[in-house]
Amino acid sequence: MPNTTSILDTARHQVLEDGIGLDQSQLIEILNLPDEDIPALMELAHQVRLKWCGEEIEVEGIISLKTGGCPEDCHFCSQSGLFESPVRSVWLDIEQLVEAAKQTAKSGATEFCIVAAVKGPDDKLMNQLEEAVAAIQREVDIEVAASVGSLTPEQVTRLARAGVHRYNHNLETARSFFPEVVTTHTWEERRETLRLVAEAGMEVCSGGILGMGETLEQRAEFAVQLAELNPTEVPINFLDPRPGTPFADRPLMESEDALRAIGAFRLAMPHTMIRFAGGRELTLGAEGSEQGLLGGINAIIVGNYLTTLGRPMEDDLEMMDRLQLPLKVLNKVI
Protein backbone atom coordinates (compact mmCIF):
# COMPACT_ATOMS: atom_id res chain seq x y z
CA MET A 1 0.00 0.00 0.00
CA PRO A 2 1.49 3.39 -0.91
CA ASN A 3 2.59 5.59 1.93
CA THR A 4 0.18 8.43 1.06
CA THR A 5 -2.84 6.21 1.59
CA SER A 6 -1.57 4.99 4.89
CA ILE A 7 -1.09 8.42 6.48
CA LEU A 8 -4.69 9.37 5.68
CA ASP A 9 -5.85 6.01 7.03
CA THR A 10 -3.80 6.52 10.17
CA ALA A 11 -5.27 10.01 10.58
CA ARG A 12 -8.77 8.63 10.17
CA HIS A 13 -8.28 6.29 13.13
CA GLN A 14 -6.13 8.48 15.31
CA VAL A 15 -7.71 11.90 14.76
CA LEU A 16 -11.24 11.35 13.50
CA GLU A 17 -12.11 8.40 15.68
CA ASP A 18 -9.96 9.02 18.76
CA GLY A 19 -9.49 12.81 18.69
CA ILE A 20 -5.70 12.59 19.06
CA GLY A 21 -3.71 15.08 16.95
CA LEU A 22 -0.99 13.94 14.57
CA ASP A 23 2.65 14.30 15.65
CA GLN A 24 5.40 16.10 13.78
CA SER A 25 6.57 13.21 11.60
CA GLN A 26 2.98 12.37 10.67
CA LEU A 27 2.33 16.01 9.77
CA ILE A 28 5.38 16.06 7.52
CA GLU A 29 3.78 13.17 5.62
CA ILE A 30 0.54 15.15 5.29
CA LEU A 31 2.42 18.21 4.03
CA ASN A 32 4.11 16.01 1.40
CA LEU A 33 0.91 14.46 0.07
CA PRO A 34 0.61 14.68 -3.74
CA ASP A 35 -1.88 17.16 -5.21
CA GLU A 36 -4.30 14.39 -6.15
CA ASP A 37 -4.72 13.50 -2.47
CA ILE A 38 -5.71 17.04 -1.45
CA PRO A 39 -9.48 16.47 -1.88
CA ALA A 40 -9.30 13.38 0.38
CA LEU A 41 -7.26 15.36 2.92
CA MET A 42 -9.78 18.23 2.88
CA GLU A 43 -12.68 15.82 3.29
CA LEU A 44 -11.03 14.11 6.26
CA ALA A 45 -10.14 17.47 7.85
CA HIS A 46 -13.77 18.58 7.43
CA GLN A 47 -15.07 15.41 9.08
CA VAL A 48 -12.63 15.92 11.94
CA ARG A 49 -13.77 19.47 12.57
CA LEU A 50 -17.47 18.51 12.37
CA LYS A 51 -16.97 15.68 14.82
CA TRP A 52 -14.75 17.46 17.37
CA CYS A 53 -15.76 21.14 16.99
CA GLY A 54 -19.29 21.04 15.62
CA GLU A 55 -20.96 22.61 12.63
CA GLU A 56 -20.76 26.27 13.46
CA ILE A 57 -18.40 28.89 12.06
CA GLU A 58 -17.28 31.63 14.45
CA VAL A 59 -17.20 35.10 12.95
CA GLU A 60 -14.88 37.74 14.36
CA GLY A 61 -14.26 41.39 13.65
CA ILE A 62 -10.97 43.07 14.49
CA ILE A 63 -10.21 46.70 15.10
CA SER A 64 -6.87 48.36 15.48
CA LEU A 65 -6.73 50.66 18.49
CA LYS A 66 -3.20 51.72 17.59
CA THR A 67 -1.85 51.12 14.10
CA GLY A 68 1.75 51.41 12.90
CA GLY A 69 4.91 52.71 14.54
CA CYS A 70 5.74 49.46 16.34
CA PRO A 71 9.34 49.24 17.64
CA GLU A 72 9.67 45.53 16.74
CA ASP A 73 11.10 44.18 13.48
CA CYS A 74 8.80 41.28 12.49
CA HIS A 75 9.92 40.99 8.86
CA PHE A 76 6.44 40.40 7.46
CA CYS A 77 4.78 43.33 9.21
CA SER A 78 4.02 46.70 7.66
CA GLN A 79 3.26 48.13 11.12
CA SER A 80 6.88 48.04 12.18
CA GLY A 81 8.27 51.55 12.56
CA LEU A 82 11.68 50.18 11.54
CA PHE A 83 10.82 49.66 7.85
CA GLU A 84 9.85 51.97 5.04
CA SER A 85 6.31 50.61 4.90
CA PRO A 86 3.46 53.01 4.19
CA VAL A 87 1.36 52.31 7.31
CA ARG A 88 0.93 55.47 9.42
CA SER A 89 0.65 55.56 13.18
CA VAL A 90 -3.04 56.07 14.11
CA TRP A 91 -4.94 55.89 17.44
CA LEU A 92 -8.69 55.35 17.76
CA ASP A 93 -10.78 56.68 20.62
CA ILE A 94 -13.31 54.81 22.78
CA GLU A 95 -16.31 56.09 20.85
CA GLN A 96 -14.86 54.79 17.58
CA LEU A 97 -14.17 51.40 19.16
CA VAL A 98 -17.73 51.09 20.46
CA GLU A 99 -19.12 52.04 17.06
CA ALA A 100 -16.88 49.43 15.36
CA ALA A 101 -18.06 46.80 17.86
CA LYS A 102 -21.70 47.64 17.04
CA GLN A 103 -21.07 47.31 13.31
CA THR A 104 -19.24 44.02 13.87
CA ALA A 105 -22.11 42.61 15.98
CA LYS A 106 -24.58 43.53 13.23
CA SER A 107 -22.72 41.26 10.81
CA GLY A 108 -23.49 38.26 13.03
CA ALA A 109 -20.02 38.21 14.60
CA THR A 110 -19.77 36.98 18.20
CA GLU A 111 -16.19 38.08 18.74
CA PHE A 112 -14.59 41.52 18.61
CA CYS A 113 -10.83 41.73 18.96
CA ILE A 114 -9.05 44.97 19.87
CA VAL A 115 -5.53 45.01 18.50
CA ALA A 116 -2.59 47.37 18.96
CA ALA A 117 0.77 47.44 17.17
CA VAL A 118 3.06 47.50 20.18
CA LYS A 119 5.70 45.31 21.78
CA GLY A 120 3.55 45.37 24.90
CA PRO A 121 1.03 47.82 26.37
CA ASP A 122 2.11 50.90 28.39
CA ASP A 123 -0.13 52.42 31.04
CA LYS A 124 -1.92 54.68 28.57
CA LEU A 125 -2.86 51.70 26.40
CA MET A 126 -3.87 49.54 29.37
CA ASN A 127 -6.17 52.29 30.69
CA GLN A 128 -7.69 52.87 27.30
CA LEU A 129 -8.24 49.16 26.78
CA GLU A 130 -9.94 48.72 30.15
CA GLU A 131 -12.20 51.67 29.40
CA ALA A 132 -13.00 50.36 25.92
CA VAL A 133 -13.85 46.85 27.13
CA ALA A 134 -16.19 48.27 29.79
CA ALA A 135 -17.90 50.59 27.27
CA ILE A 136 -18.35 47.80 24.70
CA GLN A 137 -19.73 45.42 27.31
CA ARG A 138 -22.25 48.07 28.39
CA GLU A 139 -23.48 48.80 24.88
CA VAL A 140 -22.87 45.79 22.60
CA ASP A 141 -23.78 42.11 22.75
CA ILE A 142 -20.41 40.68 21.76
CA GLU A 143 -17.41 38.95 23.36
CA VAL A 144 -14.29 41.09 23.60
CA ALA A 145 -10.81 39.75 22.88
CA ALA A 146 -7.52 41.64 22.83
CA SER A 147 -4.12 41.48 21.16
CA VAL A 148 -1.68 44.06 22.48
CA GLY A 149 1.66 42.24 22.53
CA SER A 150 3.70 40.76 25.36
CA LEU A 151 2.22 41.12 28.83
CA THR A 152 3.54 41.24 32.38
CA PRO A 153 1.78 39.11 35.01
CA GLU A 154 0.09 42.27 36.38
CA GLN A 155 -1.18 43.25 32.95
CA VAL A 156 -2.58 39.76 32.38
CA THR A 157 -4.49 40.04 35.65
CA ARG A 158 -5.83 43.48 34.75
CA LEU A 159 -7.08 42.33 31.34
CA ALA A 160 -8.73 39.22 32.77
CA ARG A 161 -10.45 41.37 35.42
CA ALA A 162 -11.55 43.87 32.78
CA GLY A 163 -13.46 41.09 31.04
CA VAL A 164 -11.19 40.24 28.12
CA HIS A 165 -12.21 36.63 27.57
CA ARG A 166 -9.65 35.65 24.91
CA TYR A 167 -6.12 36.91 24.30
CA ASN A 168 -4.30 36.69 20.98
CA HIS A 169 -0.53 36.54 20.80
CA ASN A 170 0.82 34.71 17.79
CA LEU A 171 3.87 32.48 18.02
CA GLU A 172 4.11 33.52 14.34
CA THR A 173 6.21 30.56 13.16
CA ALA A 174 8.21 27.53 14.28
CA ARG A 175 10.68 28.11 17.07
CA SER A 176 13.54 27.05 14.79
CA PHE A 177 12.58 29.60 12.10
CA PHE A 178 11.66 32.51 14.37
CA PRO A 179 15.15 34.13 14.46
CA GLU A 180 14.93 34.59 10.67
CA VAL A 181 11.66 36.47 11.08
CA VAL A 182 12.13 38.57 14.23
CA THR A 183 15.33 39.76 15.91
CA THR A 184 14.00 42.25 18.49
CA HIS A 185 12.38 39.69 20.77
CA THR A 186 12.33 35.91 21.19
CA TRP A 187 9.87 33.12 20.51
CA GLU A 188 10.20 32.17 24.17
CA GLU A 189 9.02 35.64 25.25
CA ARG A 190 5.91 35.13 23.16
CA ARG A 191 5.26 31.70 24.64
CA GLU A 192 5.69 33.08 28.18
CA THR A 193 2.88 35.59 27.63
CA LEU A 194 0.65 32.76 26.41
CA ARG A 195 1.48 30.74 29.54
CA LEU A 196 0.42 33.67 31.73
CA VAL A 197 -2.79 34.15 29.72
CA ALA A 198 -3.78 30.50 30.18
CA GLU A 199 -2.90 30.65 33.87
CA ALA A 200 -5.21 33.65 34.32
CA GLY A 201 -8.10 31.71 32.81
CA MET A 202 -8.37 33.63 29.55
CA GLU A 203 -8.77 31.66 26.34
CA VAL A 204 -5.51 31.34 24.41
CA CYS A 205 -5.51 32.43 20.77
CA SER A 206 -2.23 31.90 18.96
CA GLY A 207 -1.30 31.26 15.37
CA GLY A 208 0.95 32.79 12.81
CA ILE A 209 1.91 33.24 9.21
CA LEU A 210 2.62 30.48 6.74
CA GLY A 211 4.68 30.85 3.57
CA MET A 212 7.44 33.05 5.00
CA GLY A 213 10.19 30.70 3.77
CA GLU A 214 9.88 28.00 6.43
CA THR A 215 10.49 24.40 5.32
CA LEU A 216 7.73 21.80 5.41
CA GLU A 217 9.45 20.30 8.45
CA GLN A 218 9.26 23.68 10.17
CA ARG A 219 5.61 24.04 9.20
CA ALA A 220 4.94 20.70 10.92
CA GLU A 221 7.07 21.78 13.89
CA PHE A 222 4.99 24.96 14.18
CA ALA A 223 1.69 23.05 14.17
CA VAL A 224 2.94 20.82 16.98
CA GLN A 225 4.23 23.77 19.01
CA LEU A 226 0.85 25.45 18.70
CA ALA A 227 -0.94 22.24 19.67
CA GLU A 228 1.18 22.11 22.85
CA LEU A 229 -0.42 25.40 23.95
CA ASN A 230 -3.84 23.74 23.88
CA PRO A 231 -5.22 26.90 22.28
CA THR A 232 -8.90 27.76 21.94
CA GLU A 233 -8.15 29.40 18.61
CA VAL A 234 -5.40 29.34 15.99
CA PRO A 235 -5.53 32.10 13.36
CA ILE A 236 -3.76 31.13 10.15
CA ASN A 237 -2.37 33.86 7.92
CA PHE A 238 -0.65 33.37 4.58
CA LEU A 239 2.19 35.74 3.80
CA ASP A 240 0.97 38.78 1.90
CA PRO A 241 4.35 40.36 1.06
CA ARG A 242 3.98 44.01 2.02
CA PRO A 243 5.94 46.74 0.25
CA GLY A 244 8.80 48.13 2.32
CA THR A 245 9.12 45.08 4.60
CA PRO A 246 12.11 42.70 4.46
CA PHE A 247 9.75 40.00 3.10
CA ALA A 248 8.39 42.24 0.32
CA ASP A 249 9.93 40.04 -2.39
CA ARG A 250 9.01 36.65 -0.97
CA PRO A 251 6.81 34.63 -3.35
CA LEU A 252 3.19 33.92 -2.49
CA MET A 253 2.53 30.48 -1.06
CA GLU A 254 1.15 28.02 -3.62
CA SER A 255 -2.55 27.41 -3.03
CA GLU A 256 -2.04 23.62 -2.93
CA ASP A 257 0.55 24.07 -0.17
CA ALA A 258 -1.87 26.32 1.70
CA LEU A 259 -4.61 23.66 1.51
CA ARG A 260 -2.21 20.93 2.67
CA ALA A 261 -1.22 23.21 5.58
CA ILE A 262 -4.87 23.81 6.54
CA GLY A 263 -5.49 20.07 6.52
CA ALA A 264 -2.34 19.44 8.54
CA PHE A 265 -3.22 22.06 11.17
CA ARG A 266 -6.69 20.56 11.58
CA LEU A 267 -5.22 17.08 11.95
CA ALA A 268 -2.70 18.40 14.50
CA MET A 269 -5.43 20.17 16.52
CA PRO A 270 -8.78 18.39 16.16
CA HIS A 271 -10.46 20.32 19.02
CA THR A 272 -9.18 23.83 18.25
CA MET A 273 -10.96 26.62 16.42
CA ILE A 274 -8.88 27.26 13.30
CA ARG A 275 -9.47 30.67 11.82
CA PHE A 276 -8.80 32.04 8.36
CA ALA A 277 -7.01 35.34 9.00
CA GLY A 278 -4.99 37.48 6.56
CA GLY A 279 -3.71 36.65 3.09
CA ARG A 280 -6.29 34.02 2.14
CA GLU A 281 -7.73 36.03 -0.79
CA LEU A 282 -4.30 36.31 -2.41
CA THR A 283 -3.13 32.79 -1.72
CA LEU A 284 -6.35 30.84 -2.13
CA GLY A 285 -8.83 33.07 -3.96
CA ALA A 286 -12.57 32.53 -3.54
CA GLU A 287 -12.51 28.89 -4.62
CA GLY A 288 -9.63 27.96 -2.32
CA SER A 289 -11.31 29.80 0.55
CA GLU A 290 -14.39 27.62 0.07
CA GLN A 291 -12.19 24.51 0.01
CA GLY A 292 -10.63 25.64 3.28
CA LEU A 293 -14.01 26.19 4.93
CA LEU A 294 -14.95 22.67 3.87
CA GLY A 295 -11.51 21.37 4.83
CA GLY A 296 -10.95 22.06 8.51
CA ILE A 297 -11.39 25.83 8.96
CA ASN A 298 -14.19 26.82 11.36
CA ALA A 299 -13.76 30.52 11.97
CA ILE A 300 -13.21 33.63 9.87
CA ILE A 301 -12.40 37.29 10.26
CA VAL A 302 -14.88 39.43 8.40
CA GLY A 303 -14.16 42.76 6.78
CA ASN A 304 -10.75 44.31 6.59
CA TYR A 305 -7.60 43.04 8.22
CA LEU A 306 -5.18 45.18 10.15
CA THR A 307 -3.16 46.61 7.30
CA THR A 308 -4.67 45.16 4.14
CA LEU A 309 -8.13 45.04 2.66
CA GLY A 310 -9.93 41.74 2.85
CA ARG A 311 -13.14 40.93 1.01
CA PRO A 312 -16.31 42.84 1.77
CA MET A 313 -18.07 41.39 4.82
CA GLU A 314 -21.20 40.61 2.75
CA ASP A 315 -19.21 38.38 0.36
CA ASP A 316 -17.96 36.22 3.22
CA LEU A 317 -21.37 35.95 4.85
CA GLU A 318 -22.91 35.06 1.50
CA MET A 319 -20.24 32.40 0.97
CA MET A 320 -21.09 30.75 4.29
CA ASP A 321 -24.75 30.86 3.45
CA ARG A 322 -24.07 29.21 0.12
CA LEU A 323 -21.93 26.50 1.74
CA GLN A 324 -24.71 26.04 4.31
CA LEU A 325 -22.33 26.64 7.18
CA PRO A 326 -24.25 27.91 10.21
CA LEU A 327 -22.80 30.84 12.18
CA LYS A 328 -22.08 30.50 15.86
CA VAL A 329 -24.60 32.40 17.96
CA LEU A 330 -23.53 34.29 21.08
CA ASN A 331 -25.87 32.59 23.52
CA LYS A 332 -24.52 29.23 22.45
CA VAL A 333 -20.98 30.13 23.51
CA ILE A 334 -19.94 27.67 26.19
Stretch that binds ligand SF4, among 69-77, 228-236, 250-258, 259-267 (CB under 6 A): 69-77
* Min separation Cβ 77 and ligand SF4, Å: 3
Least distance in angstroms from the C-beta of 287 to ligand SF4: 29
Q: State yes or no: residue 72 binds ligand SF4 (CB under 6 A).
A: yes
Taking the complex as a whole, how short is the minimal distance between the CB of residue 315 and ligand SF4, in angstroms?
26
Instruction: Kindly tell me which residue out of 15, 45, 77, 109 binds ligand SF4, with binding defined by CB under 6 A.
Output: 77
Interface with ligand SF4 in residues 141-180 (CB under 6 A)? 149
**Which residue from 26, 64, 79, 155 is in contact with ligand SF4, where contact means CB under 6 A?**
79
Give yes or no for residue 126 binding ligand SF4 (CB under 6 A).
Answer: no
Show the 3-state SS of the chain: CCHHHHHHHHHHHHHHHCCCCCCHHHHHHHHCCCHHHHHHHHHHHHHHHHHHHCCCEEEEEEEEEEECCECCCCCCCCCECCCCCCCCCEECCHHHHHHHHHHHHHCCCCEEEEEECCCCCCHHHHHHHHHHHHHHHHHCCCEEEEECCCCCHHHHHHHHHHCCCEEECCCECCCCCHHHCCCCCCHHHHHHHHHHHHHCCCEEECCEEECCCCCHHHHHHHHHHHHHCCCCEEEEEECCCCCCCCCCCCCCCCHHHHHHHHHHHHHHCCCCEEEECCCHHHHHHHHHHHHHHCCCCCEEECCCCCCCCCCCHHHHHHHHHHCCCCECCHHHCC
Asked if 80 interacts with ligand SF4 (CB under 6 A), we say yes
| Stretch of 2-10, 71-79, 84-92, 229-237 contacting ligand SF4, by CB under 6 A | 71-79
User: Contacts with ligand SF4 in 84-123 (CB under 6 A)?
Assistant: 117, 119
| Nearest C-alpha neighbor of 108 from the set 299, 275, 306 | 299
Piece of the chain touching ligand SF4 by CB under 6 A; list 74-82, 156-164, 197-205, 280-288:
74-82
- Give me the least distance between CB of 151 and ligand SF4, in Å please: 13
Nearer to ligand SF4, 278 or 295 (CB): 278
- The answer to the question of residue 313 lying near ligand SF4 (CB under 6 A) is no
Give the one residue of 62, 70, 210, 299 binding ligand SF4; rule: CB under 6 A: 70
For ligand SF4, which residue of 74, 253, 274, 277 counts as binding (CB under 6 A)? 74
List interacting residues with ligand SF4 (CB under 6 A): 70, 72, 74, 77, 79-80, 117, 119, 149
